[in-house]
Amino acid sequence: MALLEAAQSVLDREGLAAVTVRAVAREADVAPMGVYNRFGSKEGLLLALAVRALEDLWRAVSVDRSLDAEERFRRGCLAYRQFALAHPQRYALVFGGGGPLAQTGSEASVYGHAVFEVLIELVEGLLGRESLKRFASSAEAAQMVWTAIHGAVHLELGGIGQVSGSHDIYERLIDLLIRGLR
């Protein structure tokens, strides 16, 4: 656990490129062999970091089930953005191209699917039986939602939005998604 904490500290402070076996060993005050013994390789270390980030994201988007469907959806989408803004390096590790999430069958992809299942549940809460008929599946509708919110977050993190007021724009995007799903 101390090695994973050390790796996460390096990631959060210095970014993905700085996460090396030596840097993590130095942060944890252990020999580099200790990192290899625990994770096998740098790739194993990054996989463990990605799994941890996805677990945290899952907890963030798993909102209170006692709320009405629209409020649950809204809070889940807002939590997704909040996670990304609070932990941009973890978000980049998970959703960056070629990362652990892209490796089909990896432990990270299993946790990534669990996060997506929460989104499916949030979307299903909004969709009545009639609305669901407009989509091939609730997973398809959830993929559309994820594409929109991920795109908005990605633009914001990259500082490449074309207008100011990212939070207000994101809130209005959620309103648009709710109307579109219903």
Per-domain boundaries in the chain: 1-40, 51-181
Cα separation, 107 vs 120, in Å, equals 20
Chain segment 30-78, per-residue pLDDT in tens: 999 999 999 999 999 999 999 999 999 999 999 998 999 999 999 999 9
Is residue 176 within 8 A of residue 150, CB to CB? The reply is: no
- Residue 133: which pLDDT band, with cuts at 50, 70 and 90? confident
Residue type, 137: S
- Tokens (6 digits) for 38: 């625990």
Q: Which residues contact 87 (CB under 8 A, 6 or more apart)?
A: 12, 53, 56
* Widest pairwise Cα distance in the chain: 60
pLDDT at 181: 86
How far apart are the C-alpha atoms of 29 and 50, rounded to whole Å? 22
The domain over range 51-181 is classified in CATH as 3.20.20.390: no
Rg (CA), the chain: 18
Whole-model pTM: value is: 0.90
CATH class, 1-40 region: mainly alpha
Q: For residues 63 and 76, is the Cβ–Cβ distance under 8 A?
A: yes
